[in-house]
Structure 1
Amino acid sequence: MSAAASDTAAYLSGDFLDFRGADLSNLDLTGAYLVNSCLVGVRFEDANLGDATLTNAELQGADFSFADLAKAEMVGCTAPDARFRGARLFSVQLDDAILEGADLSHAILNSAKLYKTDLRGANLEFTSLRWCTLGGGTMPAVLSGARMFGCQLEGAKGSVVGPVLVDEDATLSLDGADLEAWFSEQGAENVQVVR
């Protein structure tokens, strides 16, 4: 393989395509372009989706367990009941996403952006953020405007930027010490709210 060929990484371009039910586990999908794609029920376990673009993708029930989604752009995606268990979500952009009933337990969300993301439960299934890392030190997770009523937060730790909407009607906004107290009341281990 020539040096020029090895410097150019091939990537998957599947915008507006239907991958429903596919198994893409363990694949290197770095930089994949899957805008507006139907990825319902797709298995991405242990896949590398770093720098991938999944803006407005349909991800209901997709399984990203232990996947690497560092710097992925997932703005506006619909991912109810999706699984991100143990996923690496460094600097992922999940603004305006729907993650109702998703499993983000043990995920690492350093510098993740979840601005106005819906993390509420759906169909009696609660969104799980159990034992996840919500940012750390200089890399807080941005939860400004996120709707988090009913989230399971046992053992969660890290640092976040608020304010967060914490009631069922998404009208009660908490920030600062009030938000830290709310996290603690939900069973979080240690969540610091930063400015």
Structure 2
Amino acid sequence: MARRVTGGTGGSGGPGRTGVRAARRPELRLPPLEPYDGAELRPDGDYDGVEFREADLVGQDGAGARFMDCALTGCALDETRLRRARILDTALTGIRGVGTDLAEANLRDVELHDPRLGGTQLHGAVLERVLIRGGKIDYLNLRTARLKDVVFENCVLVEPDFGGARLERVEFAGCTLKGADLSGATLTDVDLRGAAQLEIARGVERLSGAVLSTGQLLDLAPVLAAQLGIRVQD
């Protein structure tokens, strides 16, 4: 089984100097892996210690499957059905796809590097100790999802939907958020200070529980004023 070391910039997930608790990051050390045999994914399948390299999984059905101590590298996941899948202690690198269905999936101790994804469905999913580093994800659907100890690092998120989601110890480091929807979301120890660009389209009133930089607060001032019904005139 992959081992991991946890602890974010605040150390062991504890509060830093500003009082915000840092996210605990996964650090995977995978065991020797067996090459994927090329067979189609199976609903409720069990994949333990498997390496999927440049696999074409387009349109396949792995709903309810379990992936543990696996590596998926350069795989195509267009319209791949992974609803309610469990992805544990697994590294995903350079995956790409449009319309990948991971609704109600469980991702724990997962590292996702340089993805190129669009319209990914993660509504109702549970993400715990997940690192998303680099790449670009368009129209990520995380409605009603639960995120705990999740780090978005140096990635681009275009119109991510966090509507009704619960975010606890979530960090945005060096990443770009364009048109984020926070409607109905609940935030606890969410650190937005490191975001290179922060654009909130809806739900700015849900920022209670988040930490912003002074510059970000000034950038958001017009949206906050509009939400509060304040007219600003010189």
* Alignment TM class, shorter chain as reference: 0.7 to 0.9
Deviation for aligned residue 1:64: 4.3
Deviations 1:15-70 (A, max 9, x none): 21111211101111111111111112221111110011111111011224311101
Residue equivalent to 2:173: 149
| SS of residue paired to 1:79 | strand
Distance in 2 (alpha carbons) for counterparts of 1:39 and 1:111: 26
SS at structure 2 position matched to 1:110: coil
What's 1:188 paired with? Answer: 200
Q: Normalized against structure 2, the TM-score is what?
A: 0.63
Superposed CA RMSD in Å reads: 2.3
- Give the letter for the 1:15 counterpart: D
1:161 aligns to what?
186
Per the alignment, residue 24 of structure 2 pairs with: none
- Post-superposition Cα deviations, 1:102-160, rounded to whole Å, max 9, x if no partner, equal 42321211112221111021xxxxx222112112xxxx222211110232222221333
Q: Please identify the structure whose Cα radius of gyration is greater.
A: 2
State the match for 1:28 in structure 2.
Answer: 61
Task: Report the counterpart of residue 134 of structure 1 in structure 2.
Answer: 162
C-alpha change, 1:115 and 1:59, in structure 2 (3 Å) is same
Which deviates the most, 44-53 or 76-85?
76-85
Query: How many equivalent pairs are there?
Result: 164
Aligned-partner Cα distance in 2 for 1:18–1:52: 17
C-alpha spacing 1:10/1:113, structure 2 compared with 1 (3 Å): closer
Greater strand fraction, Structure 1 or Structure 2:
2
| Identity in percent | 24
Task: Structure 2 unaligned segments of length 5 or more: list them.
Answer: 1-41, 210-234
Instruction: Give every structure 1 segment of 4 or more consecutive aligned residues whose post-TM-superposition deviation is greater than 3 Å.
Output: none
